[in-house]
Amino acid sequence: MVGASTVQTTTAIMYGTKQFGIIQDFIKGLEDYMESKGYSTISQMRGLTLSQIKAWDTVDRDSRYLSQVDPEKCTGCQLCTNWCFFDAISMVEKKAVIDPHKCDGCGLCPSLCPKDAITMDEPGQKYLGNFR
């Protein structure tokens, strides 16, 4: 949607439990998204969000989405403690805990947790683009 004709992925393959199997998830997710939005070809979507890209100095960095862990779903596998570039995830009583002062809201850990135990909350309104 930002105009690319190829896509590269690395971290999800390196750190995710599915390794290269995650590519099948990408393909299925893309197919489902396109069907739900009525797109039949990639070229119909390519470049749609270009007009919404902001310059770095105009991006709102005061409010952000933060990760949170559902302790009922967390199995304590500790995988997520290796993923966070901001050192925001630690283990407390065998459950992952996220430090809201360190989490940068990058979205990596909720996308990789094998138990879907991590979600993003919404502490403040933040414009992330209109992807419809």
User: Cα separation of 121 and 65, whole Å?
Assistant: 6
**Please, which residue, 12 or 88, has the CB nearer to ligand SF4?**
88
Look up tokens 């004709």; give the residue.
Answer: 5
User: Cα separation of 94 and 78, whole Å?
Assistant: 8
**Please, which residue, 14 or 42, has the CB nearer to ligand SF4?**
14
Give me the DSSP letters along 50-76.
GGG---GGGS--SS--EEEE-TTT---
- Hey, which residues between 57 and 116 contact ligand SF4 (CB under 6 A)? 67, 69, 74-80, 83-84, 86, 88-89, 96, 98, 103-109, 113, 115
Q: How far is the CB of 15 from ligand SF4 (least distance, A)?
A: 10
User: Cα separation of 65 and 124, whole Å?
Assistant: 7
Q: How far is the CB of 19 from ligand SF4 (least distance, A)?
A: 15
**Please, which residue, 39 or 86, has the CB nearer to ligand SF4?**
86
- In single-letter form, the type of residue at position 84 comes to C
Residues forming the site for ligand SF4 (CB under 6 A): 67, 69, 74-80, 83-84, 86, 88-89, 96, 98, 103-109, 113, 115, 117-118
